[in-house]
């Protein structure tokens, strides 16, 4: 078995045989071949956020924020393993065809483990939500699934964007994120630290912005002191695409391309996604950097290629192309979509009973939209099943399904020259003739997403408010005025103002962007083939009035851990069709430093449906001024329960959950008194009111 150290030795030996000019060519993401040394060309840029992306057909899973809603580490790893299997299969076929183009390699620039601190951030749906513990646990699982545990890396994951990066998109090339040491180590860094120390992530990508004045892709603080120094990261570091050019073009911290290249390389950025490292050779000649620094970067990159087995035969070389979008992976994607959807309200209308229905009205701009299935960074599916198509297939021949688009996503008219709301009256005609109305509203990646991809030019992919666009609100209000039994399905990647829907409609379901065949999964839930079981990985606020300024990176009044106002739908909230009770919780054994705490929770399904539920455990550190003001998630466990079934579940809580972070960013256990809350939601009054059940409370005293 070839160890990491052996790969380093091979990389060092190969780098020694290269000229300076040859070495500089390997620092760009489009790395040319060096034929005399047997080094093939390689394009480092590939994507696999929720399925292999941008390289043709691949299984399409729900967007990352939807995968986070499942609250299941093992299931996340299973999904990532399927993705990397398809990635290897596609790579094998590309190599056979000598196709070394972009998006054909094994270095996947994902997951995005930034903290979704503000729901206006357009790229938030690429993340695992607002909580550092949940993000860390799911990020570690995703990385392990991508990289595998074999002799060679199955593929190489890359944690991004390091660090303190979550909007605004419009100004990301010049923005300076000001953050305290407490917020940095308490919120923004834990998921990255776990990715490095636990998952052994192979790559880390820097962010576009500055953090406390330093460009992230050239930050000695972030890259040298923290990432490589404090955490011992030994993989490769890549810039975000075009970020190094921002040093002199937008951040204005350097004057020339040579200076920018030198700043990034000196800080430890090995690979340039962009073209500024074309100036590395001149930067060496000008004395801005040394050849030894160039050599070190090349060795990091070659080590990764050796670890992937690019110069050897590996056990992954025989993975056949036929695994791409195979039956097992498609079934896994549909299962993920079903588990990801979050039931936010249900007055008993769900699940729908076919025998009581003659006509169903399916209305809304996302009802028959493929874009609302795909999100961003997506692959191609050989088949799409929209919400409308899923409902039509499920309804069969005995139930009439009527359809109207009702409105555009954002435009007031569907047809040129028409008056505003030109599809609204048709939608009312459909609703009037229907026994139940299924409203499919929301956004897609053209409205919330990355700058350059999104087309809402007024804020470059970010959102100005939490409301749906006016054209949709007009439709929603008109349907509400008919007082028909109505279910709102919200297909969007971030928190939305759903106050009107909650008040006027019978059920509200957060669908996210559910993947290419998400319409089938939605129909399965609506008609009771399975119970909803997702939980919100983000807080749904009442409106932006509850939030600090978007550009303020302080955590005060943000996310469930720090907010002082009541949420509308809290983090961790989500209903099922059944009723599960947490009956008893106790700690097993004694609490010892650096040892996991074992919490045993007894749960019983006393409802009328088989279901899955998520047991959530929160911890509050008592009597310390610099503890998190509310409490923090410290454990979770998804459990499957048949109707009437009772189980005892063990949840392992890291001892580090007892730690606090002081104003200097120092982490330590500083209090002996703690409160654990274990249940099916947060212990806040809004969650308890919505869920109808209060979490169990357990007081702990620990000897310091």
- Residue pointed to by tokens 């799911």: 138
**161 cis-preceded (ω within 30 degrees of 0):** yes
Residue closest to 297 by CA, chosen among 272, 327, 325: 272
Q: For 382-386, which contacts have Cβ atoms below 8 Å and span 24 or more sequence positions?
A: 382/57, 382/325, 383/516, 383/517, 384/516, 384/517, 384/519, 385/516, 385/517, 385/518, 385/519, 385/520, 386/519
- Token couple for 13: 């030996």
Could you count the other beta carbons within 10 Å of the beta carbon of residue 620?
Answer: 18
Three-class HEC string of 175-220: CEECCCHHHHHHHHCHHHHHHHHCCCCCEEEECCCEECCEEHHHCH
> Residue 147 contacts by C-beta under 8 Å, 6 or more apart in sequence?
84, 153, 154, 155, 156, 157, 199, 200, 201, 202
> Which residue among 47, 77, 240, 394 is the active-site one?
240
Kindly provide the residue ranges of all beta strands, DSSP E only, lying in 380-472, ordered along the sequence: 400-404, 436-442
State the Cα–Cα distance between residues 675 and 656, nearest whole angstrom: 15
Q: Is residue 448 flagged as an active site residue?
A: yes
Chain centre distance of CA 395:
33
Q: Is 240 a catalytic residue?
A: yes
CB-based contacts of 534: which residues, under 8 Å, 6+ apart? Answer: 66, 69, 70, 71, 339, 340, 341, 342, 343, 510, 574
- Order of strands, sheet of 507-510, starting from the edge strand that comes earlier in the sequence: 342-346, 507-510, 486-491, 436-442, 359-363, 400-404
Active site amino acids: 240, 448
């Amino acid at each position: 078995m070839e160890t990491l150290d052996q790969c380093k030795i091979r990389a060092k030996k190969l780098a020694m045989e290269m000229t300076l000019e040859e070495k500089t060519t390997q620092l760009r993401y489009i790395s040319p071949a060096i034929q005399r040394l047997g080094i093939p060309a390689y394009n480092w840029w590939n994507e696999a956020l929720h399925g292999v992306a941008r390289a043709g057909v691949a299984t399409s899973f729900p967007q990352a924020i939807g995968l986070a809603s499942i609250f299941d580490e093992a299931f996340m790893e299973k999904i990532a393993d399927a993705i990397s299997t398809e990635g290897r299969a596609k790579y094998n076929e590309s190599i056979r065809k000598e196709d070394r183009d972009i998006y054909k390699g094994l270095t996947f620039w994902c997951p995005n483990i930034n903290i979704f601190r503000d729901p206006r951030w357009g790229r938030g749906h690429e993340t695992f939500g607002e909580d550092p513990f949940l993000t860390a646990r799911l990020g570690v699982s995703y990385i392990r699934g991508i990289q595998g545990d074999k002799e060679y890396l199955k593929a190489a994951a890359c944690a991004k964007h390091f660090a303190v990066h979550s909007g605004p998109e419009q100004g990301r090339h010049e923005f300076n994120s000001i953050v305290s040491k407490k917020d940095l180590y308490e919120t923004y860094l834990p998921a990255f630290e776990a990715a490095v120390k636990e998952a052994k992530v192979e790559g880390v990508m820097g962010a576009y912005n500055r953090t406390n004045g330093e460009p992230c892709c050239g930050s000695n603080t972030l890259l040298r002191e923290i990432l490589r120094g404090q955490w011992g990261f030994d993989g490769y570091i890549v810039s975000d695409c075009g970020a190094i050019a921002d040093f002199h073009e937008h951040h204005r911290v350097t004057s020339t391309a040579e200076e920018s290249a030198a700043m990034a390389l000196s800080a430890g950025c090995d690979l340039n996604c962009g073209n500024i490292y074309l100036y590395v050779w001149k930067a060496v000649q000008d004395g801005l950097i040394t050849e030894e620094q160039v050599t070190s970067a090349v060795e990091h990159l070659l080590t990764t290629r050796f670890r992937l087995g690019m110069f050897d035969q590996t056990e992954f070389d025989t993975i056949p192309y036929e695994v791409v979008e195979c039956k097992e992976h498609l079934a896994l994607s549909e299962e993920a979509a079903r588990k990801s959807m979050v039931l936010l309200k249900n007055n008993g209308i769900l699940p729908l009973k076919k025998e009581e229905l003659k006509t169903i009205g399916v209305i809304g701009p996302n009802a028959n939209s493929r874009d609302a299935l795909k999100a961003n960074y997506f692959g191609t599916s050989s088949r799409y099943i929209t919400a409308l198509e899923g409902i039509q297939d499920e309804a069969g021949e005995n139930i009439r399904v009527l359809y109207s688009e009702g409105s555009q996503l954002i435009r007031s008219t569907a047809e040129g020259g028409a008056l505003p709301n030109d599809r609204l009256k048709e939608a009312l005609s459909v609703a009037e003739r229907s026994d139940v109305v299924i409203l499919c509203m929301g956004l897609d990646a053209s409205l919330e997403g990355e700058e350059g991809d999104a087309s809402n030019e007024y804020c470059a992919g970010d959102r100005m408010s939490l409301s749906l666009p006016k054209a949709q609100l007009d439709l929603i209000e008109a349907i509400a005025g008919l007082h028909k039994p109505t279910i709102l399905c919200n297909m969007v990647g971030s928190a939305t103002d759903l106050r009107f829907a909650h008040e006027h409609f019978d059920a509200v379901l957060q669908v996210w962007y559910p993947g290419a065949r998400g319409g089938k999964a939605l129909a399965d839930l609506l008609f009771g083939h399975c119970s909803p079981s997702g939980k919100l990985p983000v807080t749904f606020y009442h409106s932006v009035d509850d939030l600090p300024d978007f550009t303020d990176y302080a955590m005060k009044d943000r996310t469930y851990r720090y907010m002082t106002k009541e949420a509308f739908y809290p983090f961790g909230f989500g209903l099922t069709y059944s009723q599960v009770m947490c009956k008893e919780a106790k700690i097993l054994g004694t609490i010892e430093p650096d040892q996991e705490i074992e919490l045993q929770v007894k749960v019983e399904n006393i409802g009328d449906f088989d279901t899955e539920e998520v047991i959530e455990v929160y911890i509050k550190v008592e009597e310390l001024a610099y503890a998190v003001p509310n409490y923090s998630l410290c454990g979770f466990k998804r459990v499957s329960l048949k109707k009437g079934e009772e189980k005892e579940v063990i949840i392992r809580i890291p001892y580090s959950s007892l730690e606090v972070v002081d104003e200097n960013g120092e982490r330590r256990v500083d209090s002996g008194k703690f409160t654990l809350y274990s249940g099916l939601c947060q212990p806040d009054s809004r969650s308890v009111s919505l869920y109808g059940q209060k979490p169990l409370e357990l007081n702990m005293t620990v000897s310091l």
